[in-house]
Amino acid sequence: MAVEPDSQVRELLTAGDEAAAATQAIRAIGPSALRYLRALLPDVDDVEDAFSQWAEKLWRGLPAFRGECPLRAWALRLAYHAALDLKAQAWRVHGRRLETSEASRIAQSVRTATAVRRERQLSVFERLRQTLTVEDQTLLELRVNQRLSWQEIAEVLGREGDTPRPNTVAKRFQRVKDHLAELLRGEGIG
């Protein structure tokens, strides 16, 4: 991401143009939020639902944004909670349809041995990653793919008035990494 949108969004909010501020924030941070949700939610429909919920929460909540943390961290916190809300819906937990792997098997038969092995590793990693809690998946996604600082991740994971310390988040991330590495070794990868 080239430039953080904080100052532009704050200027628009100060000028009273809440719609333009929200539009700017969604355009600037939306790609990161979408990548995060794609990493967290395996179903495309779930990603679309969570992303829509995120955009609505950002649009409605931006006028109340106090700037106590970077805008990107605040917006990704909204995405985190949109994913939590989606996963908490009972019908989604019990009504999930099975994914077909036919297309994956056909594609694998065409690839080279290296590509097949790499895809298998990614598939196993994704399956194992999905066994982690949403918070642990969030730690991985925000640190590895979104490259957020420990402070920003703490802001995302925090609740109003209760933000974990950055070193606590870093230690938890290390435990998650170690746990995931152990699981991967158990699958013969690593």
Beta bridge partners of 162: 159
**Looking at residue 2, what is its pLDDT?**
43
Q: What is the pTM of this model?
A: 0.61
User: What is the Cα–Cα distance from 161 to 107, expressed in whole angstroms?
Assistant: 49
Question: Residue 113 — pLDDT band, cuts 50, 70, 90?
Answer: very low
The first and second tokens of residue 190, run together, are: 């690593």
* Cβ neighbours of residue 129 closer than 8 Å, sequence gap 6 or more: 137, 140, 180
**Predicted pLDDT of residue 118:** 67
Q: Residue 107: what pLDDT?
A: 35
Q: Among 13-27, 96-110, 146-160, 170-184, whose mean pLDDT is lowest?
A: 96-110
CA 124 → CA 12, 83, 105, 116, 173, distances in Å?
Answer: 45, 22, 14, 12, 20
| Predicted pLDDT of residue 48 | 86
Burial classification of residue 133, based on how many CB atoms lie within 10 Å of its CB (0-12 exposed, 13-18 middle, 19 or more buried):
exposed
For the chain, what's the residue count? 190
Task: State how far the Cα of 140 lies from the Cα of 40, in Å rounded to an integer.
Answer: 10
